Amino acid sequence: MWLHSRESFPNAIQEVFNGKVKVNSKRAKKRSVGADCSLHIHNVTAEDAGRYTCRILKHQNPFSDTDTYLSVLTISLSTLLTYLKPDRPVTIRCSLHTNEGRGKCRLFHNSEVHLSWIDETGRKLQGDSRYQLTGPRCDITLTVTFQKEDNNRKWMCTLTEKGNMKISIDFTSTFSDIKDTDDDGGEENDGKKPSTP
């Protein structure tokens, strides 16, 4: 049996019973069960973050639980992608979704987990006249006024633990009023890579 819970909904949702995905689960289409009863989560998004409990039912004892925590890194924008243009400010938000909620990483208090914004050269962005960085270590925003040279530029958010990069997610700024045949444009990313620091 597999159960899914978060601090925001402490009553666990039963995802798998007797080795089969519960068909009445809202996320049934995104779940599958392996031959070894492992739980497979497909197309991971922020709503999949939380605690997953493998509960083994026994005849002599009530049950035996093993918990696994899934955290998800996402990027979101303050405006629609089609409205991106030079000389317009935009806020890009990078969030770590955990069992505790969006941007809450009390669980990793002693593991030195931090989010950072990185440019295409690998340089960590610092707050200055062009880049405004705000937010706690697990929910950071970058506010920037785009320039023409930012068309098709990649903006990367990285998660580091004890100074070592564990995972990253990126967004490409593509302007609707500037044509570039060499690039198909950017898109918003949401939870493409799970993080379990």
Same domain, 47 and 96: no
Question: Counting beta carbons within 10 angstroms of the beta carbon of residue 105, is it exposed (0 to 12), middle (13 to 18) or buried (19 or more)?
Answer: buried
Same domain, 79 and 141: yes
Assign 192 to helix, strand or coil. Answer: strand
Which of 81, 57, 64 has the alpha carbon at shortest distance from 146?
81
Q: Give me the number of domains the chain comprises.
A: 2
The rounded percent of the chain whose pLDDT value lies above 70 is 85
Which of 3, 5, 9 has the alpha carbon at shortest distance from 21?
3
Which residues span the domain enclosing 167?
72-195
Same domain, 89 and 166: yes
Same domain, 151 and 170: yes
Q: How crowded is residue 93: how many other Cβ atoms within 10 Å of its Cβ?
A: 19
Which domain CATH number covers 141?
2.60.40.10
Interatomic CA distance for residues 52 and 3, integer angstroms? 6
Same domain, 35 and 55: yes
Domain boundary among 55, 71, 87: 71
Same domain, 30 and 102: no
Model-level pTM? 0.78
Same domain, 83 and 163: yes
Same domain, 105 and 186: yes
* Residue 188 and residue 171 in contact, taking contact as beta carbons nearer than 8 Å: yes
pLDDT digits (tens, 9 = 90+) for 41-98: 999 999 999 999 998 877 767 778 889 999 999 999 987 777 788 888 889 999 999 9
Same domain, 99 and 52: no
